[in-house]
Amino acid sequence: MSRSTRLTALAGLVVLTACSQPSAPPSQAATAPAPAGAPAAPHAFDASINAADFGELVSRLASDEFEGRAPGSPGEDKSVEYIKAQFERLGLKPGNNGSYFQTVPMVETTADETTALKLDVKGQPRELKFGTDMVVGTRTGKSEVKVDGSDLVFVGYGVNAPEQHWNDYAGVDVKGKTVVMFVNDPGFHSQDEKLFEGKRMTYYGRWTYKFEEAARQGAAAALIIHDNEGASYGWDVVKNSWSGAQFDLPAKDDPDPRLPVQGWLTGDAARRLLADLGQDLDKLYQAANKPGFKAIALPAKLSVDLKSTISEKSSRNVVAMLPGAKRPDEAIVYMAHWDHLGNHAHEADEHGAASTGTETDTIYNGAIDNATGVAGILEIAEAFSKQTPPPDRSLLFLAVTLEESGLLGSKYYVAHPSVPLDKTVAVINLDAMPVIGKARDMTVVGYGSSQLEDILKRFADSQGRVLHPEATPQDGFYFRSDHFNFAKAGVPALYAKGGDDLIDGGTNAGRQAQMDYRDHRYHKPGDEYDAGWKMDGVVQDLEALYGVGRDLAGNEQWPTWYESNAFRAAQQKLRPTSAK
């Protein structure tokens, strides 16, 4: 899932016609994939969605051969060519103006990790070190950015939300200053259900929003105080994600405002710094969670000379089309991001690489995140390619790049779509599919959003499963995966996967398995393919998600966002007739 880039009660059900009853999904093959490293005959793929094919696809994409699938690396070339070859094997057409590839321009910025933040604290010098105390970077595309003697201002959660009657910047001018703020939303740390959406993170809680708002306010720099619960991941994830090459769209391709310098402070470094400034971190959490909070000027100045290596490059989305038999101009999109964090061999001692015997594992293979999602859309594509009768509407299969760098590949696609967005019926996103066995439930991230859930519910019912929201809505997963760019544009988007209530072990086993992944493998070299995975559950998930697309591709329905959803207005602009 994205480092950048991680939702309301269910509304009434839509009345569905007889032609949109659940279709029989493909059945699971009993064959399990061969263990990794076994002698290799060419894999014989089956038309059904099955564990053997899924395992073959994941094991290849997550192999060391693909070098962690970093954009702009040799691993990218191997990854996108492999995905293209799979689309060709299935007989899918090039999906982007006669090509399987969509070039995504990017700026690669690698910060000098000897950079230090220099602080004047009441006349006394302080220094914060990269990786240990903080991480910083720039999105300006400049090889050197200097901030000199910038006043520090604590701005609570850094939120300006008029509809919530909340403005952490009210009454303070931060132009040229350095803002310091908490991650997540007001109300999260105090567990106040009356503030924003309580423990459920809104977009205001995402670090991407906070940096954009600080830029709108004219700040020279912005620093977010990390805490495990508020961010939903540990400092090692921040450090690994912000170290080495960082990618961005060129400014001309991205209208969002940008800061000269942005980054994170560790909780311990922030606590020590604030204590030196006469402030108590715990008391600031209390103050920032109260309506009417006022920003606090801190008696310190920050200076930094940030040098970076800048390179203009490009990456690629992979796009394939199965044209519809009757309404080919209308399309359902299945998507997953192919990219991950690459090979950190040059920084093995610094950024969490795992040692095995005398060797150090420096490849971030991204097996769960997100070889599983790419394998999933390929399995679904194969089912559609063999479907009889063929779908009436087109199916677009989109493997996007630069998700780990802020959902950039999907952002670029939405700005330059192969199928016009007003002809895009729905988007179904696959990201970090669970491989922990069959579950009695399915998790819908952002549960209560659109009529796509009504369709999914019928397929889940047929499998004897129930739908429910994500267990940790405070983690903000809805804003951390690529469907979000489509949602902002108004296209109904579904992000669903297997749930926590496992047939073997129940909810405790399911949540323990997911927390074990988060704590020990997520954005770490340990996210590797394991032939011992329990893949019968993910096969059920793929069958259900295939069913949703099959249903939509075989009728004339235009699903809408529920009336209370924030993206309904965007859909009404996009398709005034279908969003009424």
3-state helix/strand/coil string of 357-397? CCEEECEECCHHHHHHHHHHHHHHHHHHHCCCCCCCEEEEE
Mean pLDDT in residue range 426-453 = 96
99: closest CA among 88, 89, 111, 110? 88
Question: Worst-scoring range by mean pLDDT, 8-12, 384-388, 511-515?
Answer: 8-12
Q: Assess contact for 446 and 478: CB atoms under 8 A.
A: yes
Q: How many helices (H) and strands (E) does the chain have?
A: 14, 23
* Structure tokens, 124: 């006394």
Question: Mean pLDDT in the chain?
Answer: 90
Question: Worst-scoring range by mean pLDDT, 22-36, 140-154, 274-288, 342-356?
Answer: 22-36
Q: Assess contact for 218 and 155: CB atoms under 8 A.
A: no
Residue 475 has a pLDDT of 80
Residue 354 has a pLDDT of 47
Radius of gyration of the chain from its Cα atoms, rounded to whole angstroms: 24
> How far apart (Å, rounded) are the C-alpha atoms in residues 196 and 516?
30
DSSP character for 91? T
Mind listing the pLDDT tens digit for each residue in 80-137?
A: 999 999 999 999 999 999 999 999 999 999 999 999 999 999 899 999 999 999 999 9
Q: Assess contact for 333 and 108: CB atoms under 8 A.
A: no
Beta strand residue intervals within 460-499, DSSP E: 466-469, 493-498
Residue 42 has a pLDDT of 85
What angle in degrees, to the nearest 10, is found between the helix axes of 51-61 and 74-89?
150
pTM (2 decimals)?
0.79
Beta strand residue intervals within 415-465, DSSP E: 424-429, 441-444
Nearest 5 degrees, angle CA 125-CA 128-CA 133? Answer: 150
- In 3-state terms, the chain is what percent helix, strand and coil (to 5)? 30, 25, 45
Residue 234 has a pLDDT of 93
In the chain, the percentage of residues whose pLDDT exceeds 70 is 90
Give yes or no for residue 566 having a pLDDT over 50.
Answer: yes
Question: Worst-scoring range by mean pLDDT, 77-86, 87-96, 302-311, 403-412?
Answer: 403-412
> How far apart (Å, rounded) are the C-alpha atoms in residues 277 and 302?
13
Give yes or no for residue 28 having a pLDDT over 90.
Answer: no
Confidence of residue 474 (pLDDT cuts 50, 70, 90): confident
In the chain, the percentage of residues whose pLDDT exceeds 90 is 77
* Structure tokens, 253: 């391709």
Give yes or no for residue 31 having a pLDDT over 70.
Answer: no
Confidence of residue 579 (pLDDT cuts 50, 70, 90): low
Question: Worst-scoring range by mean pLDDT, 23-27, 341-345, 386-390, 499-503?
Answer: 23-27
Give the Cβ contact number of residue 175 at 10 Å. 8
Mean pLDDT in residue range 194-199 = 86
Q: Assess contact for 216 and 258: CB atoms under 8 A.
A: no
Q: Assess contact for 527 and 369: CB atoms under 8 A.
A: yes
> How far apart (Å, rounded) are the C-alpha atoms in residues 130 and 123?
22
Residue 33 has a pLDDT of 44
Confidence of residue 580 (pLDDT cuts 50, 70, 90): low
445: closest CA among 407, 471, 482, 408? 471
Residue 218 has a pLDDT of 97
Confidence of residue 497 (pLDDT cuts 50, 70, 90): very high
* Structure tokens, 275: 């204590």
Residue 406 has a pLDDT of 85
Residue 436 has a pLDDT of 96
Give yes or no for residue 288 having a pLDDT over 60.
Answer: yes
Cβ within 8 Å of residue 335, ≥6 positions away: 377, 397, 398, 399, 400, 410, 427, 428, 429, 430, 482, 483
Greater confidence (292 vs 31) lies with: 292
Residue 461 has a pLDDT of 98
Give yes or no for residue 449 having a pLDDT over 80.
Answer: yes
25: closest CA among 463, 464, 451? 463
Give yes or no for residue 40 having a pLDDT over 80.
Answer: no
Greater confidence (390 vs 476) lies with: 390
Confidence of residue 256 (pLDDT cuts 50, 70, 90): confident
> How far apart (Å, rounded) are the C-alpha atoms in residues 469 and 430?
16
Give yes or no for residue 26 having a pLDDT over 80.
Answer: no
Mean pLDDT in residue range 20-26 = 35
Beta strand residue intervals within 358-513, DSSP E: 359-361, 363-364, 393-400, 424-429, 441-444, 466-469, 493-498
Confidence of residue 25 (pLDDT cuts 50, 70, 90): very low
Give the Cβ contact number of residue 458 at 10 Å. 17
